[in-house]
């Protein structure tokens, strides 16, 4: 039952008012519509911009250039308690490119703390990586970074950050 409810939330996550509760905490997608940046833009000058990660659309995507450790970062605009981060892979192709990621949260870009790590690669299109952060994870920035391999593109369809003030 909980899983069905969560799926319903995910499909409606474009609406920043969507909430769910863990215990007494009511959580919102605090990433929706916020500022996002990525380590590089594609060298071919196309337009898969970092903001595509937080626009509520699951059929578009972000795209870096080829790098060792590409990242995408979301500036939540203020500090939030972050409970969970969900990263959705591309649906159209290349889902295996999303692999071995660290998800970090912090108040300061020079002092980011590990929320969780996903080992391996996505096995199907549009797959969701869900990471629950340690208790009392708090921060303004959320970063997803590939930490294995030498030649990586980072593409994500959407990032949902479940948090609260
Ligand atoms: Ca998107």
| Domains in the chain: boundaries | 2-164
- Report the pLDDT value the prediction gives residue 1, as an integer from 0 to 100: 40
Q: For 41-55, 56-70, 94-108, 138-152, which range has the lowest pLDDT when averaged over its residues?
A: 41-55
CA distances from 107 to 20, 76, 77, 110 (A): 24, 10, 10, 9
Residue 67, C-beta contacts closer than 8 angstroms, at least 6 positions apart: 39, 40, 151, 152, 153, 154
Paired with 142 in beta bridges are 74, 105
Distance from the Cα of residue 162 to its chain's centroid: 10
70 CA to middle of ligand 1, Å? 18
C-alpha–C-alpha distance, residues 35 and 144, integer Å: 14
Does 122 score more than 80 pLDDT?
Answer: yes
In CATH, 2-164 is 2.60.120.260 = yes
% the chain with pLDDT above 70: 83
pLDDT score recorded for residue 2: 43
Q: What is the mean pLDDT of residues 141-159?
A: 96
pLDDT for the residue numbered 19: 66
Q: Which residue has the tokens 């294995």?
A: 148
Residue 9 CA to ligand 1 centre (angstroms): 15
Tell how far the Cα of 84 is from the centroid of ligand 1, in angstroms: 18
Residue 153: is its pLDDT beyond 60?
Answer: yes
Distance (Å) from CA 105 to ligand 1 centroid: 20
Q: What is the mean pLDDT of the chain?
A: 88
pLDDT band at 121 (very low <50, low <70, confident <90, very high): confident
Q: Separation of 61 CA from ligand 1 center, angstroms? A: 5
Q: What is the 5 CA–ligand 1 centroid distance (Å)?
A: 21
Determine the distance separating the centroid of ligand 1 and the alpha carbon of 165, expressed in angstroms.
24
Interval between CA 83 and ligand 1 midpoint (Å) = 21
Confidence of residue 24 (pLDDT cuts 50, 70, 90): low
pLDDT of 93 reads 87
What value does the mean pLDDT take over residues 103-111?
95
């Amino acid at each position: 039952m909980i899983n069905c409810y969560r799926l319903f939330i995910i499909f409606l996550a474009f609406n920043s008012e969507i909430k769910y509760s863990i215990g007494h905490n009511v959580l919102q997608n605090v990433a929706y519509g916020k500022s996002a940046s990525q380590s590089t833009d594609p060298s071919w000058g196309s337009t898969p911009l970092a903001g595509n990660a937080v626009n509520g659309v699951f059929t578009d995507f972000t795209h870096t250039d080829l790098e060792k450790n590409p990242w995408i970062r979301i500036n939540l605009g203020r500090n939030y308690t972050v409970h969970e981060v969900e990263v959705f892979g591309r649906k159209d192709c290349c889902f295996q490119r999303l692999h071995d990621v660290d998800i970090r949260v912090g108040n300061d870009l020079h002092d980011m703390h590990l929320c969780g790590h996903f080992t391996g690669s996505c096995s199907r299109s549009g797959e969701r990586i869900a990471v629950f952060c340690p208790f009392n994870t708090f921060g303004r920035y959320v970063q997803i970074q590939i930490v294995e391999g030498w030649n990586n593109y980072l593409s994500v369809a959407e990032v949902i950050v479940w948090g609260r003030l």
